[in-house]
Amino acid sequence: MNFYPEFEVVRNDSRCIRCRVCERQCANEVHWYDEDGKVMLSDESKCVNCQRCVTLCPTRALKIVKSDCRLRENANYSDQTIKEIYRQAETGGVLLSSMGNPNPLPVYWDRILINASQVTNPPIDPLREPMETRVFLGKKPDHITRNADGSLDTKLAPQLSLSMPVMFSAMSYGSISYNAHASLARAASALGIYYNTGEGGLHEDFYKYGKNTIVQVASGRFGVHKDYLEAGAAIEIKMGQGAKPGIGGHLPGTKAVGDVSKTRMIPEGSDAISPAPHHDIYSIEDLRQLVFSLKEATDYRLPVIVKVAAVHNIAAIASGIARSGADIIAIDGFRGGTGAAPTRIRDNVGIPIELALAAVDKRLRDEGIRNNVSIICGGSVRSAADVVKAIALGADACYIATAACLAMGCHLCRSCHTGKCNWGIATQRPDLVKRLNPDIGSQRLINLMDAWRHEIKELMGGMGINSIEALRGNRLMLRGVGLTEKELEILGISHAGE
Amino acid sequence: MIPLEGHVRIPSGCAVSAMISRDGKRMNGESIIQSMIPMHDRSNGLGGGFAAYGIYPEYKDFYALHIFFNNRSAQAECMALLKEYFEIVQDEHIKVRKMPQITDEPIIRRVFVSPMQSVLRHLQIDEKELVVRVVNRINAEPVGSYVFSCGKNMGAFKAVGFPEDVGRYYRLEEYEAYCWTAHGRYPTNTPGWWGGAHPFCLLDYSIVHNGEISSYDANRRFIEMYGYKCTLQTDTEVITYIADYLLRRQGLSLDEMASVIAAPFWSTIEGKSEADKEKYTYLRTVFPSLLVTGPFSIILGFDGGLMALNDRLKLRSMVVGEQNDMVYIASEEAAIRVMAPDIQNIWSPAGGEPVIVRVKEGAF
């Protein structure tokens, strides 16, 4: 069935100089030049509104607007719902989507406000006073021990040291490009934080960034071998992902080419579809075995992270993980991004990270095991304010991926699964990949983190807090607005005015 | 309705003062009362109190419980509970001097107790742990009893009022201690409750504190994992529990505790010797949630000494004076000049630098 396209290309012909940059830049082949009429024409049905042509048009002759040609309005059957039905009726297929859930579900970050000091204690000025953002992730001992001479025995379970409580979350080499990985790895090294390989293995060029790398072991075990495990600073077992809880990763065959297939250790062009479960983990006691297998394989040098999607029973699940020998739990909320996920799952499965985080932190404290593990919060952390709110709710650190992609140039057109990313991020086409310059990409990531660190310090200083440790779990620094009693109870915060 | 103490979090500013004889000489409370007078404006009449060490030499083997009761039935109920766990050695009124400045008095009793060996054997805990558990239980339950002091050979005296009046009310000039600490309170949103005045005590630890800590909820939520219950929602309460947890339960030294709650900055740690670097990094890594931020000056009294500590940015004033065997500590120099008019040696300790004073071994 043919529809009027979702977007319209609006070209101001009096401004267009026929330079054809739009044509060259569009991997979706929307634009072309008509020699006879000496005009630029477009096939808008191919447009994904990635804004590449708009950004690069030297005369600002282009804009992409939402088409106003719609089906008859219906509050129950939206335009999108109807069109999805038509598409499925045509193909019999599962709908695929990319990036995080775009639907207007509650964003609790935006319903939480942060405190500041007035009169009874002083705000602290980060320009004039030291302000600390360093965090250690890993298991903390319940009791100190002393050496024979009475000095403290300072041996600890392995810890990750972060200069600020933000890391780049898992995005596999394959789902994103070589240059995107290079940008993340270099930025993490320069910043003193970590990036995460995702489940596609680690390109041999990036082993040198191992000190700032978290290597992931997912259900497909793609790219996992002894050198890989030993290359990183921590190992993450991916049990689930916020964008698609309950299913495994999905790399379309079009992206499994060249070094990607080599790194993943799979044939070129084959779809890399990870199993939904780890086939050696059907219960919590199995998880414990995998945790210790990985520790054994790496001489107990590296902390093990267990990443789970935020689902209904997350508090109990986290409690189980905290007792499994894992050093760190990463919780991924339902708004988290992905390079490819079934639309229905992305849009309907999982729970918001804010509620999951609050519930997990509380449960672990109630059980007195919060010290067993650190908590990483991911799944749509969009700004320094979100980071501060997450830490105050109880996270030790945050994972960001969508924000990192945006820093590298992503325009959130949500078409990663097509492999035709015009910004050189979610693609393996060499002509597109080279559009992302790792020098610039890494610098922009560093800039973003620098900016966030400044903002985190300003917000902390305003609260009279000069170290991030004193913010963690400090829920008194948060107030809700427009939330129900139940929501406030789960978040463990008071309403504004209370 | 104005919220009650413990129902809301109450920030407060304050005045603190302390004096200690390193020779273990015992002094009556006159001087410490006088020291609070020049700092009158640092309190607002909603709380004052004192802690005194070495005051019960004849009962030094027993825990001295100082208790407020709202009424007779609360007293009966509480005493019945105590009798389940302790032998009652002595149960008496704390003598007071009635005065117009001090109103709404509860029943104020002093009970010397000795833990029952059979109970200790049954619960398999040491006697300090038993005292902590029973006191926490009494204080957490809203039956109208509040144990505000429970150490050996020491005691706290506190009330709603200005500290100099509170000192007179409790006739502190009749007690002799080798160490006194004092507190005047300036709470910002409470009608004032006797139990909410400071010092705040647990076993022989007493804390007087000036400031409003910004790390409160991070500290509270951590310490509550270990069986403490922050019922008063005050800074002083949570700091006392932190001290008990680190000193008694983790076995840290006072210096080590100071480097947890007023941890040196990472930039400072970088410049230390390898051994110190390792130690400070370890302590900050293991106890990050016990870092206390925001302004504070605290004086922690304990059996045989005291420790004074400022927050690491020194956002609150605190001065120390030394003369012969005496050490004086106060929010303002004026207070020290009252206790020791011709004192020469006065200085301001740096932020995060603990001042630890111990009475000579065997002198108390």
- SS3 string, A374-390, reads EEEEECCCCCHHHHHHH
**Residue A136 in contact with partner chain B when CB distance is under 8 A:** yes
Contact between chains at B313 and A124 (C-beta distance less than 8 A) = yes
Q: Does A457 touch chain B (CB under 8 A)?
A: no
Is A125 near chain B, with CB under 8 Å?
Answer: no
Cβ distance B288 to A469 less than 8 Å, yes or no, reads yes
Q: Which of B289, B285, B291 minimizes the C-alpha distance to B260? A: B291
Name every chain B residue with its beta carbon within 8 A of the beta carbon of A130: 265, 267
Instruction: Residue A145: list chain B partners with CB under 8 A.
Output: none
Nearest to B286 among A122, A144, A477 (CB): A144
State the pLDDT at residue B277: 96
B-facing residues of A in 152-191 (CB < 8 A) are 152, 154, 156, 159
Chain B residues in contact with A122 by the CB 8 A cut-off are: 295, 315
Q: What is the 3-state secondary structure (H, E, C) of chain B?
A: CCCCECCECCCEEEEEEEEEECCCCCEECHHHHHHHHHHHHHCCCCCEEEEEECCCHHHCCCEEEEEEECCHHHHHHHHHHHHHHEEEEEEEECCCCCCCCCCCCCEEEEEEEEECHHHHHHHCCCHHHHHHHHHHHHHHCCCCEEEEECCECEEEEEECCCHHHHHHHCCHHHCEECEEEEEEEEECCCCCCHHHCCCEEECCEEEEEEECCCCHHHHHHHHHHHCCCCCCCCHHHHHHHHHHHHHHHCCCCHHHHHHHHCCCCHHHHHCCCHHHHHHHHHHHHHCHHHCCCCCEEEEEEECCEEEEEECCCCCCCCEEEEECCEEEEECCHHHHHHHCCCCCEEECCCCCCCEEEECCCCCC
Question: What angle do the packed helices B127-140 and B72-85 form, to 10 degrees?
Answer: 160
Find all residues with CB under 8 Å of B268, minimum gap 6, and list them: none
**Per the CB < 8 Å rule, is A144 touching B251?**
yes
CB contact under 8 A, A120 and B222: no
Q: In this prediction, what percent of chain B has a pLDDT beyond 90?
A: 80
Nearest chain A residue to B281 by CA: give it.
Answer: A154
Give per-residue pLDDT as tens, A395-441: 999 999 999 999 999 999 999 999 999 999 999 999 999 999 999 99
Query: Residues of chain A with pLDDT > 90: what percent?
Result: 95
Name the minimum distance, in Å, from the CA of A488 to any CA of chain B. 16
| B264 close to A (CB below 8 A) | no
Of A143, A473, A476, the CB nearest to B9: A476
| CA–CA distance, A401 with A354 (Å, rounded to integer) | 17
The beta-carbon neighbor of B267 closest among A130, A464, A471 is A130
A464 touches chain B (CB under 8 A): yes
Say whether A464 and B251 touch across the interface (CB within 8 A): no
Nearest chain B CA: its distance from A491 CA (Å): 14
Q: What is the pLDDT of residue B193?
A: 80
State how far Cα A223 lies from the chain centre: 21
Q: For position B191, what pLDDT does the model report?
A: 61
A121–B216: do the CB atoms touch at under 8 Å? no
For residues A452 and A134, the answer to whether their CB atoms sit within 8 Å is: no
Rounded distance between C-alpha atoms, residue B61 and residue A457, angstroms: 51
∠ CA A402-A406-A408 to the nearest 5 degrees?
120
Model confidence at B1: pLDDT above 50: no
B10: confidence class by pLDDT, cuts 50, 70, 90: low
Calculate how close chain B gets to A156, using CA atoms only, in Å. Answer: 8
Shortest distance, CA A79 to any CA of chain B (angstroms): 48
Max intra-chain CA distance, chain B: 60
Q: What is the pLDDT of residues B255-291, one digit of tens each?
A: 999 999 999 999 999 999 999 999 999 999 999 999 9
Euclidean distance between CA atoms A198 and A175, whole angstroms: 9
Confidence check: pLDDT of B2 > 70 = no
Tell me whether residues B216 and A474 touch, CB distance under 8 A: yes
Which chain A residues are within 8 Å of B13, Cβ to Cβ? 120
Which residues of chain A have a CB within 8 Å of the CB of B225?
A: 365, 368, 370-371
Q: What are phi and psi of B180, to 5 degrees?
A: -125, 140
Among the partner-chain residues B12, B282, B293, the one whose CB lies closest to the CB of A154 is B282
- How many A-B residue pairs are in contact by the CB < 8 A criterion? 114
**Sequence-distant (≥ 6) Cβ neighbours of residue A385 within 8 angstroms:** A109, A114, A455, A459
Counting every residue written for chain A, the total comes to: 498
What's the mean pLDDT when you consider all of chain B? Answer: 92
Mean pLDDT of B337-345: 95
Q: Which residue has the higher pLDDT, A155 or B190?
A: A155
Given this model, what pLDDT does residue A128 score? Answer: 92
CB < 8 Å to B278, chain A: 154
Counts for chain A of helices (H) and strands (E), in that order: 15, 21
Query: What number of residues does chain B have?
Result: 364
All domains of chain A, ordered by start, with CATH? Answer: 7-93 (3.30.70.20), 135-495 (3.20.20.70)
Q: Show the tokens assigned to B192.
A: 């004032």
Would you say residue A215 has pLDDT above 90?
Answer: yes
For tokens 């990463």, the residue is: A330
- Cβ atoms of A184 and A212 closer than 8 Å: no
Please indicate if any CB of chain A lies within 8 Å of the CB of B263.
yes
CA A320 to chain centre: 24
Q: Which residues of B fall within a CB distance of 8 Å from A136?
A: 284-285, 288
State the pLDDT at residue B133. Answer: 92
CB-CB: which of B217, B265, B266 is closest to A476? B217
Mark yes or no for CB contact B266/A152 under 8 Å: no
A277-298: average pLDDT? 94
User: Phi, psi at residue B140, to the nearest 5°?
Assistant: -80, -25
Assembly ipTM: 0.90
Could you say which residues from 167 to 226 on chain B have a Cβ atom under 8 Å away from some Cβ of chain A?
A: 188, 211-219, 221-222, 224-226
pLDDT at B188 over 70: no
pLDDT, position B364: 67
- In B4-23, the residues whose Cβ lies within 8 Å of chain A are 9, 11-13
Q: What is the mean pLDDT of residues B327-341?
A: 95
Question: A332 CA to chain B: closest CA distance, Å?
Answer: 23
Tell me: pLDDT of B169 over 90: yes
Phi-psi region of A404 (alpha: psi -120 to 50; beta: other; left: phi over 0): alpha
Please give the span between the terminal C-alpha atoms of chain B, in angstroms, as a whole number: 48
Q: How many CB atoms lie within 10 A of CB A451?
A: 13
Tell me the per-residue pLDDT of A121-162, one tens digit each, with 9 for 90 and over.
Answer: 889 999 999 999 999 999 999 999 999 999 999 999 999 999
- The pLDDT tens digits for B230-243 are 877 788 889 999 99
Contact A466 B11 (CB under 8 A): no
- Residues from chain B that touch A467, judged by Cβ atoms under 8 A, are 263, 291, 293
Task: pLDDT band for B210, please (50, 70, 90 cuts).
Answer: confident
**Catalytic residue list of B:** 14
Query: How far lies A354's CA from each of A361, A371, A386, A393, in Å?
Result: 11, 20, 10, 8
Name B109's bridge partners.
B67, B93
Q: Is the pLDDT of residue B361 over 90?
A: no
- For residue A120, the model assigns a pLDDT of 82
What is this structure's pTM?
Answer: 0.92
pLDDT at B89 over 60: yes
DSSP at A467: B
Which helix (H) or strand (E) element contains residue A490? helix A485-491
Question: Which residue pairs from B113-117 have beta carbons closer than 8 angstroms and sit at least 24 positions apart in sequence?
Answer: B113/B62, B113/B63, B113/B65, B113/B82, B113/B86, B113/B87, B113/B88, B113/B89, B114/B61, B114/B62, B114/B63, B114/B86, B114/B87, B114/B89, B115/B63, B115/B85, B115/B86, B115/B87, B116/B85, B116/B86, B116/B87
- Report residue B189 as tokens: 């949103």
| Inter-chain touch A132–B265, beta carbons under 8 Å | yes
Q: Which residues of B touch A159 (CB under 8 A)?
A: 285
> What is the phi/psi pair of residue A434, to 5°?
-70, -10
CA distance B115 to chain A (A): 27
Task: Quote the DSSP letter at residue A195.
Answer: E
Q: What is the DSSP string of A137-179?
A: ES---SS--B-TTS-B----S--EEESSSEEEPP--BTTB-HH
pLDDT digits (tens, 9 = 90+) for B106-132: 999 999 999 999 999 999 999 999 999
Domains of chain B, earliest start first: 12-55+153-358 (3.60.20.10)
| CA dihedral sign, ordered A65, A68, A69, A74 | positive
In angstroms, the separation between the Cα of residue A146 and the nearest Cα of chain B is: 10
